[in-house]
Amino acid sequence: MTRDISRIPHRVIRDPFLHVVLYQPEIPANTGNIARLCAAAEVRLHLIHPLGFCLDDRHLKRAGLDYWHEVDIRYHDRFSAFLDHVKGAGRILSFSRHAGPLYTEAAVEKGDFLLFGRETSGLPAEIREAYPCYRIPMWGKVRSLNISTAVGIVTYHCLRQTGRF
């Protein structure tokens, strides 16, 4: 019998350095890898529905191994519910291959929300236009980086910038 990951007791970080926000993630293995990264870095993870998988998906569990109880995770039914939840709590910085400025140009502060889009389509234009948006440079002939790679690059850069290490 499988367990719904959203029902597993999870860690609560009182004052997170940063928040990673996944807008409607589609691939369970990517979300699991990002959850593990968030547990390791003590960063709060936010998942905005609809998700492209069930929270009891075996691939999601495999990617996160036995770390789910160590992830400070929040679930939001839709983007507007996420915005209501974070109102006044920190700035939202978005990341997209369509942005101009590099992620290294973002002036990140403790408590900021790092927003990443869907694996197949990224963030909608209206979200990219509503919040500061940054990109990771790429020189090869690829459309984009894997989202878990992008989240890792940006998160650890931002943790360093905010004095976490």
Domain boundaries, the chain: 5-161
Burial class (CB in 10 A: 0-12, 13-18, 19+), 3: exposed
Indicate the average pLDDT of the chain: 90
Torsion-angle region of residue 65: left (phi > 0), alpha (psi -120 to 50) or beta?
Answer: left
**Higher pLDDT, residue 8 or 88:** 88
Rounded average pLDDT over 77-92: 95
**For residue 112, which of 23, 16, 22, 28 has the smallest C-alpha distance?**
16
Judged against a pLDDT cut of 70, whether residue 115 lies above it is answered with: yes
Percent of the chain predicted with pLDDT > 90: 74
47-80 pLDDT, tens digit per residue, is 999 999 887 756 656 655 567 788 999 999 999 9
- Is 145 within 8 Å of 31 (Cβ atoms)? no
Q: Under CATH, domain 5-161 is a member of which superfamily?
A: SPOUT methyltransferase, trefoil knot domain (3.40.1280.10)
Using an 8 Å Cβ cutoff, are 52 and 24 in contact? yes
pLDDT class for 1, splitting at 50, 70, 90?
very low
DSSP string, 77-103: SSHHHHHHHHTTT--EEEE-TT-SSBG
Q: How far is CA 105 from the centre of its chain?
A: 19
Predicted local confidence at residue 55, as pLDDT:
76
Q: Residue 25 — very low, low, confident or very high, per pLDDT cuts 50/70/90?
A: very high
- Compare 44 and 58 and report the one with higher pLDDT: 44
Q: What is the pLDDT of residue 92?
A: 98
Give the helix ranges, DSSP H, for 1-146.
28-41, 58-64, 79-86, 125-130
**Distances from the Cα of 18 to the Cα of 46, 65, 110, angstroms:** 11, 23, 6
Confidence of residue 46 (pLDDT cuts 50, 70, 90): very high
Entry pTM: 0.92
